[in-house]
Amino acid sequence: MSMAIIQTTNANSPQAKLGQDMLLALASLDLNPQLVLSGDGLRLWLRSEANTVDVQSLHKRYAMLELFDCPAPWVHADELAAHGWQTDDFIAQVDVLDADSWREKINSLSNTLIY
Amino acid sequence: MARLVLALHAAPAAPAPAQNRSLLAFKYAQAALVSGHQIDMIFFYADAVLHASTSAQTALVDDWVQLSQQHNIPLVICNTVAEQRYSMATDALVPPFQNGGLTEFAMAAAAADRVVQL
């Protein structure tokens, strides 16, 4: 069964840590959860946000996704463009989707948890 | 008929706009069971761990307990959240709420046909 975690809050919200804990728990059981970053959730992966211990801790834990062979998180190209962010601004590889791909892939998700 | 796992995130007496989420989840669970679906677990995460607190009992929590007992559905709370965020005494939960964690939830989710977050 495929699972997706959608993160929409920044590191100041308790939801960010709750969502990451859920993401890593699913990953640790080889469920290969798909992370989707949108809204303020995009800031969770920005290198420039790593100016507090809490964010640095989040970044280190996100690095574990690669160890679990999880797919790169989906991000919407329009959101990156609106902020002027490039893929190099993120702590690891992200999968940039255009509007059509985003719609298609989001519609394909059957089990999602939103934080 | 599907095997379901429900993940509830709101407290039983949550402030607006989440004030009805526990009731909505309860009604959803009732409807799913009436429709012949199986609920493998109801997982109480985030603020929802307060359902198992002895100091936060409401009629709705009593309804959850009754539903669990009637249909043999485990009511599992995330004890890490309960202890760290709410300093709950997790050795004295309202029965039949039981301690668990994200691993238990993930295992149940892996075996289910559908996970529903409420």
Quick one: how far is CA B77 from the chain centroid?
7
Interface pTM, i.e. ipTM: 0.88
pLDDT tens-place string over residues A77-88: 999 999 999 999
Distance from CA of B107 to the nearest CA of A (A): 8
Long-range contacts of B11-15 (CB under 8 A, 24+ apart): B11/B47, B11/B48, B11/B50, B11/B51, B11/B56, B12/B48, B12/B50, B12/B51, B12/B56, B12/B58, B12/B60, B12/B61, B13/B50, B13/B56, B13/B58, B14/B47
Would you say residue B54 has pLDDT above 90?
no
Residue type for position A33: P
Longest CA pairwise span in chain B (Å) = 39
Q: What angle do CA B16, B22, B27 make, to 5 degrees?
A: 125
Question: Do you find a cis peptide bond into B17, omega within 30 degrees of 0?
Answer: yes
Domain positions in chain B: 3-117
pLDDT tens-place string over residues B65-116: 999 999 999 999 999 999 999 999 888 899 999 999 999 999 999 999 999 9
Nearest to B48 by CA among B16, B74, B18, B92: B18
**Beta-carbon contacts of residue B114 (< 8 Å; ≥ 6 apart):** A110, A111, B2, B3, B4, B5
Fold of B3-117: Hypothetical Protein Ychn; Chain: A, (3.40.1260)
CB contact under 8 A, A29 and B107: yes
pLDDT tens-place string over residues A1-38: 689 999 999 999 999 999 999 999 999 999 999 999 99
**Structure-token match 């969770």, residue found:** A44
Size of interface A-B (CB pairs under 8 A): 43
Q: What is the pTM of this model?
A: 0.92
- What single-letter DSSP state applies at residue A91? S
pLDDT tens-place string over residues A52-80: 999 999 999 999 999 999 999 999 999 99
CB contact under 8 A, A111 and B105: no
- The total number of residues shown for chain A amounts to 115
Domain spanning A4-114, CATH class: alpha beta
**Chain A 12-51, CB below 8 Å of chain B: which residues?**
14-15, 18, 21-22, 25-26, 28-29, 31
- Flag whether residue A6 sits within 8 Å of chain B, measured between CB atoms: no
- Flag whether residue B7 sits within 8 Å of chain A, measured between CB atoms: yes
**What is the per-residue DSSP string for A48-108?**
GG--SHHHHHHHHHHTHHHHTTPPPPEEEHHHHHHHT--GGGBSS--EEE-HHHHHHHHHH
Nearest to A31 among B81, B110, B114 (CB): B110
In a mutational test of the A interface, the residue from B6, B40, B114, B115 whose CB has the highest number of chain A CBs within 10 Å is: B115
Domain positions in chain A: 4-114
Q: Which residues of chain B are within 8 Å of residue A110 when distances are taken between CB atoms?
A: 114
